[in-house]
Amino acid sequence: MNCNQCGLQFEYFNAEKEAYNRADALLPVNCPQCRRLRHLIFRNEKNLFHNKSCLSAKKIISLYPETSPFHIVDQNEWWSDKFDATLFARNFDFNKPFFEQYKNLQKEVPRWARIVVNAENSDFCNNSANVKNCYLTFSSYESQDLYYCMRLFRCNDCVDCLNISDCQLCSMSADCKHCYNIHYSLLCNSCYDSYFIFDCKTSKNCIMTAQARNKEYLIRGKEYSKAEYEKHKKEFLAQLANNPDSIKKEFLELLKSAYHKNLNMIKAENCLGNFINDSKNIINVFYTIDSEDCVNVYDSSALKDCYDNSYNEKSELCVEIDTAYEMYNSKFCTYSITMADSAYCDQCDHLTECFGCIGLKKQQNRILNKQYSAEDYKKMLAKIKTHMEHTGEWGKPFPHNLTPFPYNITLAYELAPLKKEEALKQGYMWHDEEKQEMPKEKYNLPKTAVEADESICEKILVCEKTGKPYKIIPQELKFYKKFGLPLPRVTPDQRYKELRNLQPPKKLIDATCGLCKSPIKTVYPPEWNYKIICEKCYLEKIYE
């Protein structure tokens, strides 16, 4: 089968065919990668804007810019009794395609500004729960004092981190667990007080070192006495402050010289994918824990029998779901919570047997937000199916241009950037960046945080890479001072991009083990020139 979008050849798994059949949905005509991209078009994860709530006119921080054609409502008002989307109920029109009717409903039902549950002093956050004192932090849970972080779980006091859990006092690090006071590090577990370390375990006081196991006082892989280590550490931090680019380059060289296990899977029985933990029978899955019998799943956890899902949690028997929680036997839904036996719903909470609904809470048997008896709902659904088969819509996902977000603020833009003209041509909206205030005169940033005082937080700084303005917040300054780290010379967004570029793509490719030459699957693109080895060779060479 050739993807109707990118042309690449792909195969269906038997389980996939069965799942789509069971869900009464058509097998997707595009490849898993293009399906994922379609989900990402519906997700703005980290772009926030000032806006006004359409109910109270209150000033809010929102995922939608003021220029958005949609009505945006403050998230607390959305959850209150003041907001009732049943008022937008309408009849199904059998003379019009379903997606056209859905689009008309979408234009009228106010959308929640962002979603943050049980958050304290965390206005500039999204997709997060149980967080405190966080700033520009996204998709994070049970954490506090995080700045510019993405997908952190049970972490405290971290800056610029990505996909880490149970960590404290870390910065510029990704894919780490149970670490404390580590900076610029990747793929580490239970490490302390270290800088620029890769794939290290239960080690502390290490600098520019890969694959240390139960080690201490290592610099560039060489062991030192405590006193020598402290002396060299001082020199290293000075070098990092004076010439951060050369140190970062050295780290990239370290990554090239180190061995990389083809895939990261722990307690994964019959699984294929990357960053899989405690799972069984899952294929083409990336960043998941506690899942079973799934295919093509990304950044999700506790899923069972789910196919083509992204950012979904605690769900079962779902196809084509993104950004959701506790879904059961549902298909083609986005941004929804606790739903069963439903399809084509968006921003809904606690629904059972609903179809094509937006913004509903605690409802059953509704179509385009309109109430039906249980019996009429079944009859209507059968009629709608025939109608949608006739219009060629049945069993197909939402068309891409039904995304409520301008293309360039969605996650899809990170993976597949388009120029404005091209995006508009393809039917997307576009967000023109507002002109940001630039400093009147150039400010010379001190090299280390120690040399800076709080007045620096008032200054508008200019990014060395992008020329865009940015600021350093007092909490950040305190963090850098504490660890003698240099002040960031690029915007938080640029820091995020640099870190993200060190994470392998969520795509499986065929390769050969660099040692035993056996055929393997991996995620590291050949152009990265990494030494990729199979699990057996990794265990022999590095050991866990």
Enumerate binding residues for Zn ion (CB under 5 A). 3, 5-6, 30-31, 34, 513, 515-516, 534, 537
Classify the phi-psi angles of 439: left when phi > 0, otherwise alpha if psi is within -120 to 50, otherwise beta.
beta
- The terminus-to-terminus CA distance of the chain in angstroms comes to 40
* Nearest alpha carbon to residue 530 among 518, 516, 513: 513
Q: Structure tokens of 38?
A: 């379609």
Smallest gap, in angstroms, from Cβ of residue 188 to Zn ion?
23
Distance CA 404, CA 103 (A): 10
CB of 490 to Zn ion, least distance (A): 33
**Smallest separation (angstroms) from Zn ion to the CB of 210:** 18
Q: Specify the residue, 270 or 518, whose C-beta has the smaller distance to Zn ion.
A: 518
The SS3 assignment for 397 reads coil
Closest separation in Å from C-beta 542 to Zn ion: 12
Task: Let me know: does 432 contact 460? Beta carbons within 8 Å.
Answer: no
Using DSSP's 3-state secondary structure scheme, residue 440 falls into coil
- Smallest distance, Å, CB 175 to Zn ion? 22
Residue 259 C-beta: closest distance to Zn ion, Å: 10
- List the one residue out of 227, 421, 53, 509 whose CA is nearest residue 530: 509
CB of 512 to Zn ion, least distance (A): 9
Nearer of residues 4 and 257 to Zn ion, judged by Cβ: 4
Q: Which of 490, 488, 540, 491 is nearest to 513 (CA)?
A: 540
Q: Which is nearer to Zn ion, 30 or 365 (CB)?
A: 30
2 vs 243, which CB is nearer to Zn ion? 2
What 3-state class would DSSP assign to 371?
Answer: strand
d(CA 419, CA 422): 5
- Token duo for residue 127: 């997709």
Selection from 473, 458, 467 nearest residue 436 by Cα: 467
Nearer to Zn ion, 31 or 105 (CB): 31
Computed from CA positions of residues 479, 482, 483, 484, in that sequence, does the dihedral angle turn out positive or negative? positive
Q: Is the CB of 317 or the CB of 534 nearer to Zn ion?
A: 534
> Closest separation between CB of residue 262 and Zn ion, Å?
9
Task: Decide whether 170 or 537 has the Cβ nearer to Zn ion.
Answer: 537
Cβ nearer to Zn ion, comparing 182 with 263: 263
Q: Which residue has the tokens 């780490």?
A: 176
- Of 339, 307, 337, 310, nearest in space to 325 by CA: 337
Region label for 356, one of left (φ > 0), alpha (ψ between -120 and 50) or beta (otherwise): left
364 neighbors 351 (Cβ within 8 angstroms):
yes
Q: Least CB distance from residue 93 to Zn ion, whole Å? A: 33
